[in-house]
Amino acid sequence: MATVLTLAGDGIGPEIMTQAIDVLKAVDAKFALNLTLESGLLGGAAIDESGEPLPADTLQKAQAADAVLLGAVGGPKWDTIERSIRPERGLLKIRSELGLFANLRVAKLYPQLANASSIKPEIINGLDLLIVRELTGGIYFGEPRGIRTLENGDQQGYNTMVYSTSEIQRIGKVAFELAQVRAEALGRPAKVCSVDKANVLEVTELWKQTMTDMQQESYTDVALTHMYADNACMQLIKNPKQFDVMVTGNMFGDILSDEAAMLTGSIGMLPSASLDANGKGMYEPCHGSAPDIAGQDLANPLATILSVAMMLRYTFKQEAAAVAIEDAVSAVLDDGLRTADILSADSDTAGLKKVGCREMGEAVLAKLK
Residues 21 and 39 grouped into a single domain = yes
248, 263, 278 — which closes off a domain?
A: 263
Confidence of residue 77 (pLDDT cuts 50, 70, 90): very high
In this prediction, residues 83-99 reach a mean pLDDT of 92
Residue 264: is its pLDDT beyond 90?
no
DSSP state of 74: -
What is the helix (H) or strand (E) element at residue 9, kind and residue range? strand 2-9
128 is catalytic: no
User: What pLDDT does residue 115 have?
Assistant: 81
Flag whether 85 is in a domain. Answer: yes
Number of domains in the chain: 2
Flag whether 123 is in a domain. Answer: no
Note whether 163 and 278 are within 8 A (CB).
no
User: What pLDDT does residue 344 have?
Assistant: 60
228 is catalytic: no
User: What pLDDT does residue 286 have?
Assistant: 86
Confidence of residue 342 (pLDDT cuts 50, 70, 90): confident
48 is catalytic: no
CA distances from 161 to 143, 145, 249, 367 (A): 8, 10, 10, 46
In this prediction, residues 298-320 reach a mean pLDDT of 95
Q: How far apart are CA 243 and CA 192, in angstroms?
A: 8
Residues 258 and 270 grouped into a single domain = no
Residues 222 and 241 grouped into a single domain = yes
In this prediction, residues 335-364 reach a mean pLDDT of 87
Flag whether 241 is in a domain. Answer: yes
Q: What SS3 class is residue 102?
A: strand
Query: Considering only CA atoms, which of 331, 326, 300 is closest in space to residue 311?
Result: 326
230 is catalytic: yes
Instruction: Look at 12-21, 158-167, 179-188 and tell me which has the smallest mean pLDDT.
Output: 179-188
Any idea what the CATH number is for the domain that residue 71 is in? 3.40.718.10
Q: How far apart are CA 103 and CA 245, in angstroms?
A: 12
Residue 347: is its pLDDT beyond 60?
no
Residue 350: is its pLDDT beyond 80?
no
At 324-340, the pLDDT tens digits run 999 999 999 999 999 99
246, 263, 280 — which closes off a domain?
A: 263
Confidence of residue 11 (pLDDT cuts 50, 70, 90): very high
Contacts of 32-35 spanning 24+ positions with Cβ under 8 A: 33/2, 33/312, 33/316, 33/318, 33/321, 34/1, 34/2, 35/1, 35/2, 35/3, 35/4
Residues 62 and 36 grouped into a single domain = yes
247, 263, 279 — which closes off a domain?
A: 263
Residues 257 and 272 grouped into a single domain = no
Residue 121: is its pLDDT beyond 90?
no
- For residue 195, the enclosing domain spans 128-263
Residues 274 and 244 grouped into a single domain = no
Flag whether 117 is in a domain. Answer: no
Q: What percent of the chain has pLDDT over 70?
A: 99
Note whether 139 and 150 are within 8 A (CB).
no
* Of 10, 61, 140, 244, catalytic: 140
Identify the residue with better confidence: 45 or 108: 45
Q: How far apart are CA 304 and CA 283, in angstroms?
A: 8
Residues 293 and 180 grouped into a single domain = no
User: What pLDDT does residue 345 have?
Assistant: 52
Note whether 194 and 163 are within 8 A (CB).
no
At 150-162, the pLDDT tens digits run 999 999 999 999 9
Note whether 132 and 245 are within 8 A (CB).
yes
Flag whether 217 is in a domain. Answer: yes
Flag whether 232 is in a domain. Answer: yes
* Of 230, 292, 327, 334, catalytic: 230
254 is catalytic: yes
Residues 293 and 343 grouped into a single domain = yes
Query: Considering only CA atoms, which of 6, 9, 19 is closest in space to residue 304?
Result: 19
Q: How far apart are CA 281 and CA 271, in angstroms?
A: 13
Flag whether 115 is in a domain. Answer: no
* Of 66, 258, 276, 297, catalytic: 258
Residues 192 and 284 grouped into a single domain = no
Residues 258 and 136 grouped into a single domain = yes
Flag whether 7 is in a domain. Answer: yes
Query: Considering only CA atoms, which of 319, 320, 326, 322 is closest in space to residue 367?
Result: 326
User: What pLDDT does residue 233 have?
Assistant: 97
Residues 246 and 274 grouped into a single domain = no
At 197-247, the pLDDT tens digits run 999 999 999 999 999 999 999 999 999 999 999 999 999 999 999 999 999
User: Alpha helix (H) ranges present in the chain?
Assistant: 13-30, 44-50, 56-64, 87-97, 121-124, 165-186, 202-218, 229-238, 250-263, 302-314, 319-334, 357-368
Residues 233 and 273 grouped into a single domain = no
* Of 61, 197, 208, 280, catalytic: 197
In this prediction, residues 120-138 reach a mean pLDDT of 93
Q: How far apart are CA 346 and CA 266, in angstroms?
A: 11
